Structure 1
């Protein structure tokens, strides 16, 4: 089955953690690669996600160590959602 890879970026405004990483990652813009395989036998083109990799460190950060670690995209979606949810403190705090 043909496989396609798409590359995009994700921006996180706050430090975050993913189970794929040993430590908390700082806020920043990260490169994300997603591999999808074509679903055969359909009368139209359709793809299924088979893997995803997050590149570290964030874009623009100088480091001698660069990694592309596999991640669970559902977990990343939850992190992105939480990153954009405003924190509302009770009045007086």
Structure 2
């Protein structure tokens, strides 16, 4: 199966918490990698998101360590939506 990875920047305007995180993350812009697999349906091509990873800390925040943490794509969508409702 063919896969691809896309990278986007997600802006959180309020501190946020995702399942599996030990601490709340601060406001900021975060790089998010999303892995997708190709679906061949009839005569159309479509991509289905199968994994997501967030780069910590936020862009521009100096930290001693940088990590890429796996996150559930649905949890990411919910956190983004919650942030939009708060702003």
1:85 maps to what in 2?
85
Question: For 1:86 and 1:70, how far apart are their aligned partners in 2?
Answer: 25
RMSD (Å) for aligned C-alpha atoms: 1.5
Larger radius of gyration: 1
TM-score normalized by structure 1? 0.85
TM-aligned CA distance change 1:41 to 1:80, over 3 Å: closer
Q: SS state of the match for residue 44, structure 2? A: coil
Alignment of 1:1-93 (within 5 A): 1-40=1-40, 42-86=42-86
- The unaligned stretches of length 5 or more in structure 2 are none
What count of residue pairs does the alignment treat as equivalent? 87
Q: Considering Cα pairs closer than 8 Å and 6+ residues apart, tell me whether 1 or 2 has the greater RCO.
A: 2
TM-score normalized by structure 2? 0.90
Contact kept? 1:20, 1:69, Cα under 8 Å:
no
